């Protein structure tokens, strides 16, 4: 993508994205137009297998961010971190810099996904000239934000990364490796962040119903 020129968008899709896309045609359009959608969630893998179009494996937002940071350090690409609560992007950047020697992070801004802040953020990002922009406003805001702003920003790669900065900064605990391996991170997250229960309880039955009804 970086070598081929142009501005690209990556979305890290979990079942909640698919539910939202069914209700929100603008978001569905963004996912359909994205240059790459990665399967971030065991539900997406199970659904793809059930529908006869199996995927190779999961790519979590955290893993994708680490791989992009590694690539950026190796090739001299410039990274910009946008979003999360004030100070969190800076903490996440410190972790990435400590992990990948020589990594160039050209900006850390919490900002806001509200459209009225876009002119200011466009100015800040354009003057930093990043090659990779990570946007952490949660879905669908972050992906809609990228789709609206990429025509102006023209960053080679822009990725919606959800809660990745919170994880990197240690604000949200990582599930133990064995839980991640069996794809039950969402359950761990539910127990460790009980305020999310409503989101999950809403998402699971609706997603299952949508997958089954798509098959028939």
* Site of interaction with ligand UDP (CB under 6 A): 83-85, 113, 136-139, 162-163, 165-166
Distance in Å, CB of 32 to ligand UDP, minimum? 18
The Cα-based distances of 164 to 61, 66, 149, 214 in angstroms read 6, 10, 21, 31
By beta-carbon proximity to ligand UDP, the closer residue of 83 and 130 is 83
Nearest to ligand UDP of 2, 196 (CB atom): 196
Which residue lies nearer to ligand UDP by CB, 131 or 166? 166
- Could you give the residue ranges of the DSSP H alpha helices within the chain? 15-23, 25-33, 42-50, 61-75, 88-99, 118-128, 141-153, 164-168, 177-181, 185-192, 197-215
**Closest distance to ligand UDP from the beta carbon of 138 (Å):** 3
In angstroms, rounded to a whole number, what is the distance separating the alpha carbons of residues 81 and 62? 13
For residue 83, what are the β-bridge partners?
136
Q: Nearest distance from residue 14's CB to ligand UDP, in Å?
A: 7
Minimum distance of ligand UDP from residue 212's CB (angstroms) = 23
Tally the C-alpha atoms within 13 A of residue 79's C-alpha that lie toward its C-beta: 29
Q: Indicate the residue among 166 and 185 with the shorter CB distance to ligand UDP.
A: 166
């Amino acid at each position: 993508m970086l070598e081929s020129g142009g501005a690209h968008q990556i979305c890290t899709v979990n079942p909640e994205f698919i539910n939202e896309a069914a209700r929100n045609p603008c978001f569905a359009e963004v996912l359909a137009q994205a240059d790459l959608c990665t399967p971030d969630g065991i539900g997406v893998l199970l659904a793809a297998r059930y529908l006869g179009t199996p995927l190779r494996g999961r790519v979590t937002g955290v893993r994708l961010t680490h791989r992009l940071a590694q690539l950026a350090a190796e090739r001299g690409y410039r990274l910009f971190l946008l979003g999360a609560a004030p100070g969190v992007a800076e903490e996440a950047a410190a972790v990435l810099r400590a992990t990948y020697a020589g990594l160039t992070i050209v900006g850390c801004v919490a900002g806001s996904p509200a459209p009225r802040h876009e002119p200011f953020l466009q100015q800040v990002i354009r003057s930093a000239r990043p090659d990779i922009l990570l946007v952490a406003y949660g879905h669908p805001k972050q992906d809609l934000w990228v789709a609206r702003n990429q025509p102006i920003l023209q960053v080679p790669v822009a990725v919606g990364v959800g809660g990745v900065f919170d994880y990197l900064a240690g604000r949200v605990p990582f599930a133990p490796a064995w839980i991640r391996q069996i794809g039950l991170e969402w359950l761990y997250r539910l127990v460790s962040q009980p305020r999310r229960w409503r989101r999950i309880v809403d998402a699971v039955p609706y997603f299952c119903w949508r997958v089954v009804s798509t098959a028939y």
